[in-house]
Copies of this chain bind each other. A is one copy, B any other.
Amino acid sequence: MDERPDGIVVRGAKAHISEAPLSNELVVVPCRAMREDDKAYAVSFGIQANAPGITFISAEPEMKEAGNFFDYPLSASVYINDALVIFDDVFIPNERIFLKGEWQFAGHIAHMFGNFHRLSAETYKAAELEMVAGAAALMAEYNGIAKAGHVRDKLTWLTYYTEAVEILGLAACEHSVSDPDSGLAYPNPMHANIAKLFFADNWHQAIKYVQDIAGGIVATAPSAADWDNPELRPLIEKYLGAKLGVPTEHRLRLIKLIRDLGSSYEDVITLHAEGSLAAQRLSILELADFDRYKAAAKRAARIADGSYDAIYSELPEFPPRV
């Protein structure tokens, strides 16, 4: 960061910025708490995305073929366009600057960003998980195994997973917290971090269950090109059919959706978008009220060490002395 009378000039890069190349405006915030040494990095500002000096390098898309919704129903529909955003001496006018070296506030901004960002994950994941649970249930139906005990167990677990994410995310909103200085209401950080950790930590299990129900055909299904070949279609129709009454085409389309759901791309954005598992774990550990928890254990173990807790120290001895 260089200072000028009318603004600052910044250089550096931000990684993994979803939809950045599709945006009109970029808002840049610090990514962590900072110390005085980090002063030059303690900047925050808004800037139009096409300002001179800004370069985007987009991620390689997961989709294999644009517009082929048969083979790639999800990856050909959704491309988040995560980009590496490079600032090469970009001028930021004073009126667009939020932070200019006040390193003491960097942590507040980063932390508050996290509070909202965790929840944003739950909002789309709750919907995506309905699709995952639905893909498993529909596949079980198409494969004629919906009544098998182990399939019912997996569908139950997928329901539990799906609904718990919805409940936990909603609770983060319903138990929102107000910032005492600004009056800004934000999602409950403990709730939002738990919701994010819960869904990200269990994603691979969910995908494993869907893949287990679907079968090896997810790896070996023929492509749209074969399906569209008039010589091959009758053979595929006959030999890769679903249970009676379900068109082979529906089964193939569902198989392709399940392949898309289990991609590296889906795995990795579930784990790392909106903060990695390690970030949620760190937040939860910092938010934990271990003094209260320890007071509960001390009361039960009858450890009298002179510490006081507003809840547990006020409870009567148990069982009451006779």
Contacts and interface: CB of A to CB of B under 8 A. Distances in A.
Interface string A260-302: 1111110111011100111001101101101011111110111
A292 B58 CA distance: 34
Interface residues of A, number: 122
A194 B156 CA distance: 10
A254 interface: yes
A294 B156 contact: no
A293 B130 contact: yes
A264 B254 contact: no
- Identical chains in the assembly: 4
A236 interface: yes
Nearest to A246: B305
B138 A294 contact: yes
Contacts of A215: 272, 276
Given A205-B204, A269-B216, A301-B253, A163 B190 contact: yes
A21 interface: no
Nearest to A216: B272
Interface string A211-223: 1101111111111
A22 to B, nearest CB: 13
The 9 A-B residue pairs whose C-beta atoms are closest, nearest first, are A149-B149, A134-B293, A216-B272, A134-B297, A262-B264, A60-B223, A59-B220, A257-B301, A219-B268
